[in-house]
DNA sequence: GTACTATTTGATAACATTACCAATTAATCA
DNA sequence: TGATTAATTGGTAATGTTATCAAATAGTAC
């Protein structure tokens, strides 16, 4: 398997967790401190910290230190364009479920 | 965590494996039989079969049976638009690696 | 120096994913 | 019927991911 497919897969893997998707949404408009992100996603700080590190390592977020705070922002804004397509897939799946329900 | 983030994450998870990305590429232009896909991705048939099932379950591929063969095709063409953005991230990462290399 | 706050890291246990080989199903045809 | 081909499924061991709690780091202010 050519390496390029693995490199691409890593980006999708970085986006394949609900907390990480919520983090991406949180920082998509403007940078946010870790504290703000933790409040937004409603998860344990240490857990969020790991997800942030993973997103940074994948190249999706970048960070900046200022005093005690660390601010994260979306490094690759085009990632946001994924969501309308993903919502389309999700919608189709939910509609299929609804149609199956009708048949019961 | 709202359910919608988990549903979205499942789509990304389905795309987060090199073999599955190669499968998506393989069937993106026209439907292909499992045999053709197996040749294209150069992996074990049983392995490819499981990846195909996963992509179908996620709603990304659909399948059609004809005689002994099963044909898969891309159900959600907009997925292909992800790749130019993903390549951008990959390129940035590779450039960072190159720049680090220069400093050694 | 101590105290305080923000964030990350270590250790670990629970859980999920993957590849492999063998066995199975399903369709076709002689 | 049995043989052949295409594809999937069962079992399993190896590997990877995640959440949690405690501990550590790093910056600020006194």
DSSP B1-42: --HHHHHHHHHHHHT-SHHHHHHHHHHSSS-EEHHHHHHHHT
pLDDT at B39: 97
Q: Which nucleotide is nearest to A49 (CA to C1')?
A: C8
Answer yes or no: is B90 within a domain. no
Q: Give residue A68's domain range.
A: 3-76
pLDDT at B99: 79
Report how many Cβ contacts below 8 Å link chain A to chain B: 124
| Total domains, chain A | 1
Answer yes or no: is B59 within a domain. yes
Answer yes or no: is B95 within a domain. no
- DSSP lists the bridge partners of residue B33 as B71
Contact A81 B83 (CB under 8 A): no
The pLDDT tens digits along chain B (104 residues) read 688 999 999 999 999 999 999 999 999 999 999 999 999 999 999 999 999 999 999 999 999 999 999 999 999 999 999 999 999 889 888 887 787 778 67
Answer yes or no: is A104 within a domain. no
Answer yes or no: is B41 within a domain. yes
Query: Cα separation of A19 and A98, whole Å?
Result: 26
Q: Is the pLDDT of residue A101 over 80?
A: no
Q: Is the pLDDT of residue A2 over 90?
A: no
Answer yes or no: is A62 within a domain. yes
Helix (H, G, I), strand (E, B) or coil at B91: helix
Q: Is the pLDDT of residue A1 over 80?
A: no
CATH code assigned at A25 = 1.10.10.10
Answer yes or no: is A94 within a domain. no
Helix (H, G, I), strand (E, B) or coil at A77: helix
CA-based nearest residue to B57, from A62, A96, A69, A77: A96
pLDDT tens across A44-67, in order? 999 999 999 999 999 999 999 999
How far off is chain A from B94, nearest CA to CA, in Å?
A: 10
pLDDT at A97: 79
Q: Stretch A77-90: mean pLDDT, rounded?
A: 92
How do strand A61-66 and strand B69-74 relate by DSSP bridges?
unpaired
* Chain B CA closest to residue A25: B5
Answer yes or no: is B97 within a domain. no
A-chain CB neighbours of B96 within 8 Å are 59
Average pLDDT, chain A: 94
- C-alpha pair distances (Å), A95 with each of A26, B45, B49, B59, B87: 28, 32, 26, 11, 32
Please name the residues between 41 and 100 in chain A that touch chain B, using a CB distance below 8 Å. Answer: 41-43, 58-60, 75-76, 78-79, 81-90, 92-94, 96
């Amino acid at each position: 398997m050519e390496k390029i497919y693995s490199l691409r897969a890593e980006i999708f893997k970085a986006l394949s967790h609900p907390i990480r998707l919520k983090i991406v949404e949180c920082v998509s408009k403007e940078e946010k401190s870790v504290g703000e992100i933790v409040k937004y996603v409603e998860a344990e700080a240490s857990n969020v910290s790991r997800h942030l590190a993973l997103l940074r390592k994948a190249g999706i977020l970048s960070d900046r230190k200022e005093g005690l705070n660390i601010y994260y922002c979306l490094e690759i804004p085009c990632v946001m364009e994924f969501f309308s397509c993903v919502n389309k897939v999700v919608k189709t799946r939910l509609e299929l479920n609804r149609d199956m329900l009708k048949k019961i």
